[in-house]
Amino acid sequence: MNIEISEEAGVRYLHFGSDWVQGAMRVARPWSLELEYTREMMACLLLRPESEWPGWPKRVLLIGLGAASLTKFLHRQRPSAKLTVVEIAPAVVAVARQHFKLPAEDERLRIVVGDGADYVMKDGRPFDLILVDGFDARARAGVLDTLPFYLNCRARLSERGLLVCNLLNHRKSYQTSLALLREAFDQRALAFPSCDSGNIIAFAARGEPVRQSLEELRASAQALKTATGLNLLPTLTRLEKSSTCGGGVLSL
């Protein structure tokens, strides 16, 4: 894998041998979420808000490391969570450590070099949250966007579990991916409106239902912004303008 690093205006970028940005970090705030789609993936924290689900998520699986943006955010903002990161390319782990301030492994953070699809096939303790953001240099997800993979993710989720997937797809076929997610999760899946970057973030749930009104989501977003600096209020404005929340309620 040809890995390249660029830097502009205080932001460091990760590339896999092309101009395509695979990750980014604002050097002065390495734990912040620089790219819009990474911020939207953290909207899962609004679906199981701290006010209703204190301590959630306790165990998190991240498939795809990239510039370690999601890993660093959760490591800093959810100190009680145990994080497992599965990254297929050893070179990406090395670059994340050297250039993107990946925290050292400890009892809260475990890095596994391996195939995420193989990892979720194994038996093991369930995760409250699985985040999938794995692509090759040509922005292809491969087996990480298949029905067997999504079914295996569901099997590894707890009874309050959520799956969050970056369905980046400039071929406009994200509906195929969403249909697979819905099949795997008994229709309990939805996609947020496309980010300006073209990323589609999808959410799927098992176990305890998700039912949050837009008003409740805004209150949770304001609390999250105050606590972490992450501002998801623009995301909720886009949700309100779309058909994602029927009757003003987001249900999963």
Q: Which two tokens stand for residue 62?
A: 């991240």
Residue 172 has pLDDT above 80, yes or no: no
Q: State the pLDDT at residue 139.
A: 53
Q: Looking at the 3D structure of the chain, how many domains does it have?
A: 1
Q: Judge whether 21 lies within some domain.
A: no
Torsion 29-30-31-37 (CA) sign: positive
Residue 89 has pLDDT above 80, yes or no: yes
Q: Domain range for residue 62?
A: 35-235
Q: pLDDT tens digits, residue range 95-121?
A: 999 999 999 999 999 999 999 999 999
Q: Judge whether 25 lies within some domain.
A: no
pTM for this one? 0.94
What CATH number has the domain bearing residue 197? 3.40.50.150
Q: Judge whether 199 lies within some domain.
A: yes
List CB contacts of 90: < 8 A, sequence separation 6 or more.
Answer: 113
Residue 34 has pLDDT above 50, yes or no: yes
Q: SS3 of 218, please?
A: helix
Q: Judge whether 20 lies within some domain.
A: no
pLDDT band at residue 136 using 50, 70 and 90 as cut-offs: low
Q: Judge whether 75 lies within some domain.
A: yes
* List 133, 136, 145, 196, catalytic entry: 133
Which of 129-138, 158-167, 214-223 shows the lowest per-residue confidence on average (mean pLDDT)?
129-138
Q: Which two tokens stand for residue 155?
A: 């099997």
Q: Judge whether 252 lies within some domain.
A: no
Phi-psi region of 64 (alpha: psi -120 to 50; beta: other; left: phi over 0): left
Helical segments of the chain, H only: 36-41, 44-47, 69-77, 90-99, 116-121, 147-155, 174-184, 214-228, 233-241
Residue 171 has pLDDT above 60, yes or no: no
Q: Judge whether 249 lies within some domain.
A: no
Q: State the pLDDT at residue 137.
A: 47
133 is catalytic: yes
Q: SS3 of 215, please?
A: helix
DSSP H or E stretch at residue 203: strand 201-205
What mean pLDDT comes out for the span 74-79?
96
Q: Judge whether 242 lies within some domain.
A: no
Strand arrangement of the beta sheet that strand 21-26 belongs to: 4-8, 11-15, 21-26
List CB contacts of 132: < 8 A, sequence separation 6 or more.
Answer: 63, 64, 116, 144, 153, 163, 164, 165, 166
